[in-house]
Structure 1
């Protein structure tokens, strides 16, 4: 099973990919864990945990050469057996910001890491997955299903990933390959952000007109939203790991998993409430969090 453990804002030391690699190796699975830094703390812990079952492979998912090299390495290890599972969980969040203030460069970066890289990795490994009639799992987000203020770019990238997986699921039926989407709500993973450089970057990319309309104090406060988001998340990642494990190993996997608090409730409200009612609810929650 190949797990893409790359994290940017999230940290491989305590992220979903790290925990999943440990869990699956404990079940006797051979795990190929892709990491951004093969010499980092997270990678070292994986190597020490179970060197026989966990193969740590350095791979930047935005680098096609890295992806091709990893495929070649896995091919050599597996021979003609094929690859049973692929988990696309690489993620980038960046600083929450109003859509009007979102820089094009940040939007491109989010789409590259959260969506386009998953497409490239999936296309690269699908021949091996089809050979094994295995599984593909994409880790999306509640934000990709329900509109959330300040997360327009992140939400768009995760929505694109979820839609890609849903279409792929239909296309892979003829091959006996199952594709699932994991759509978790908020879970706490390590975040290490330097606030001052983020504020400086936001202010430098904001036009004088927008700076006047939104106000410097408001724009400077945006990075603190990450702290508020973090306080509202759960530290226990086991619900997400349970869902990924089920999607990979169950005889009857589901097409969609929604682990975590409000992961099913908010989409239900968004779908069934009148738009104006849901909008008032969302804006009220945002104001409370400020």
Structure 2
């Protein structure tokens, strides 16, 4: 019995070594970019190997693991770019549209954001994209080209303080997904890029941030202002500096994905450049909601643990009782 278990374990070790060699060779030969999703799949494969080796019987487990390895190897994306003759349309017509324009407006609780901020985000981040797409779509269909939209991780993951921005990016992500289906018959490929935090001009200047803060102060209802309190509202001003320090100044991951979406033979439907741009949405979609809520509370502390005034009073009263 022990000899059988040793042989089975040895088979898994040999298979893992062979599989690792093949994967590394394919990655190096094709210059494959390592995505967060690929790392997650490898971890899942490792977990499956442990289950197959320890739980399932030798032949069944080994067969299942071999099939999983083969499927993963085949699914490794190969970034084959279009040959030069496939790019002649770049000179003779319109090959691709990249929707990059975007505004954030302001970061605050959804209740505090003025309607003007919601309208601005929807007009620029969503309505403007639809209008430009409709105007140039006949040229894009003729070229069988590419439609690329730069959405955001916030478009499919709730982040505190981003109610207006996230709503507009969610609309953009769904627009891209539907357009991909609509344009299949025209052989137009559609890709959506969902970056995490990058340091761009989307946050605006400090003067713009101050004017938006003053806009909130001028338009907020008296009872709402009383509930939130001056200290909580004042903390919003610091978010501009906070976001500037926690975001990445290196835009190369986004630019590489844009180039791949435009020029690859088989572009991806979705790209997730940036730190945790793939893992955080997975945490929200596939884990219990309380897990993501705890993670978001610790990660996206936009108010430095400052509670609204009425909640602080209520909390203090409960302690005295």
Q: Shared fold (TM-score greater than 0.5)? A: yes
- Poorly superposed stretches of 4+, deviation over 6 Å: none
Q: Report the equivalent of 2:184.
A: 173
* Distance in 2 separating the partners of 1:213 and 1:200: 18
User: 135, 153, 159: which is aligned to 1:142?
Assistant: 153
Q: Report the equivalent of 2:234.
A: 220
1:105 CA drift (Å): 1.6
- Give the stretch that moved more between structures: 276-285 or 181-190: 276-285
- Give the stretch that moved more between structures: 278-287 or 161-170: 278-287
Q: Report the equivalent of 1:284.
A: 298
User: 244, 248, 251: which is aligned to 2:265?
Assistant: 251
The superposition leaves residues 161-215 of structure 1 with CA deviations (integer Å, 9 ceiling, x where unpaired) of 0100000001101001000000000111144231432322110011001100001
Task: Determine helix, strand or coil for the equivalent of 1:284.
Answer: helix
Q: Report the equivalent of 2:216.
A: 202
1:219 CA drift (Å): 1.4
- Structure with the bigger percentage of helix: 2
Q: Report the equivalent of 2:96.
A: 85
* Distance in 1 separating the partners of 2:278 and 2:237: 27
Task: Determine helix, strand or coil for the equivalent of 1:100.
Answer: coil
Q: Does 1:231 align with 2:242?
A: no
* Distance in 2 separating the partners of 1:221 and 1:289: 6
Correspondences of 1:149-160 after superposition (within 5 Å): 149-160=160-171
* Distance in 2 separating the partners of 1:179 and 1:286: 31
Q: Report the equivalent of 2:13.
A: none
- Give the stretch that moved more between structures: 270-279 or 129-138: 270-279
Question: Which structure would you say has the larger Rg?
Answer: 2
Q: Is the 8 A contact 2:105 2:120 kept in 1?
A: no
The superposition leaves residues 224-252 of structure 1 with CA deviations (integer Å, 9 ceiling, x where unpaired) of 21221221111110000000000000001
Cα RMSD, aligned residues only:
1.8
Aligned residues, how many? 214
Q: Report the equivalent of 1:274.
A: 288
TM-score, normalised via structure 1 length: 0.70
Residues 288 and 214 (structure 1), Cα distance of their counterparts in 2 relative to 1, 3 Å cut:
closer
Residues 204 and 137 (structure 1), Cα distance of their counterparts in 2 relative to 1, 3 Å cut:
same
TM-score, normalised via structure 2 length: 0.64
1:97 CA drift (Å): 1.0
* Distance in 2 separating the partners of 1:172 and 1:247: 15
* Distance in 1 separating the partners of 2:241 and 2:190: 33
* Distance in 2 separating the partners of 1:288 and 1:167: 33
* Distance in 2 separating the partners of 1:219 and 1:138: 34
User: 238, 241, 259: which is aligned to 2:255?
Assistant: 241
- Structure with the bigger percentage of strand: 1
1:289 CA drift (Å): 7.0
Q: Report the equivalent of 1:184.
A: 195
1:82 CA drift (Å): 3.1
